[in-house]
Amino acid sequence: MTILVTGANGTVGRQVVEQLVQRGADVRAPVRDPASAAFPDGVAVVQGDLLDIDSLRSAFAGVSTLFLLNAVAPDEFTQALIALNAARTAGVNKLVYLSVIHSDLYVNVPHFAGKFGVERMIEQMGFAATILRPAYFINNDLTIKDVVFSHSVYPMPIGSKGLAMIDARDIGEVAAIELVRREDSDLSLPIDRINSVGPETLTGANVAAIWADVLARPIVYGGDDTAGFEQNLRSFMPTRMAYDMRLMSERFLTDGMLPEAGDVDRLTSLLGRPLRSYRDFATETAAAA
């Protein structure tokens, strides 16, 4: 049978596809423009859009398990509900959903609240699902590496509570493991939630210190200016998204993104290896510069 991977062109989706291919799974990837898609050999690429029910109906034909990833967008919740209804109509009951850690805590942050709503719909609609709740993606910091390299400042306002940052490659591998587990089971496995976290909980000062060590020169933390963060984001993204990111960063400052007891051990056991660290990322990024 076939595993359908939505969001396959994105940072996590590509990792999920690659990990599934390595495990010998039959993978289908719906994308808006199949001609521009570049996936490993054997991946079936089809035209699909989460707001286009006809394309979704076609994409779900013969599918047994779903990886549901919705990009942050104003209609994210609608996209997810359409996909869930199309899956149920097609007889697909097994799924892995990419949510976010503390979706039930960051209630004023639009994309967190939307993902928590999707979690509730998955439960209410009776899916046999694994809900992955990742913390801050380490890979997000590729967008600010030039600031670190050129200005010796780590500019993300992540505060002093700490974020359990995780590498997108680890998220993708955990997702693939859960997809295959559900795909291979003859039973309707109970719903499960997995906090997807990294091996350390890092503050802004901690991250700056890692960069300083890797680059062998002083790097400072830029501070907790969330208003300035929003203003910078407005130069290259829609204003509503910049505001969404500001609200998220404000919750970083007040609440952090903290793992629960046993989260790191559970993920390490699932992967059969240590989780990738921020130092690993910084070292790789510096070497590639």
pLDDT in tens, 225-250: 999 999 999 999 999 999 999 999 99
C-alpha distances (whole Å) from 55 to each of 82, 88, 221, 267 are 12, 15, 46, 35
- Helix ranges (H only) for 125-203 are 145-151, 168-184
Query: What pLDDT is recorded for position 3?
Result: 98
CB atoms within 10 A of CB 40: 12
Q: Is the pTM of this model over 0.85?
A: yes
> Could you give the domains of the chain?
2-135+167-196+259-275 (3.40.50.720)
Q: What is the pLDDT along the chain (289 residues), one digit of tens a residue?
A: 799 999 999 999 999 999 999 999 999 999 998 888 889 999 999 998 999 999 999 999 999 999 999 988 889 999 999 999 999 999 999 999 999 999 999 999 999 999 999 999 999 999 999 999 999 999 999 999 999 999 999 999 999 999 999 999 999 999 999 999 999 999 889 999 999 999 999 999 999 999 999 999 999 999 999 999 999 999 999 999 999 999 999 999 999 999 999 999 999 999 999 999 999 999 999 999 8
Query: What pLDDT is recorded for position 289?
Result: 86
Residue 46 one-letter amino acid: V
Residue 16 · residue 172 · CB < 8 Å: yes
Residue 116 · residue 103 · CB < 8 Å: yes
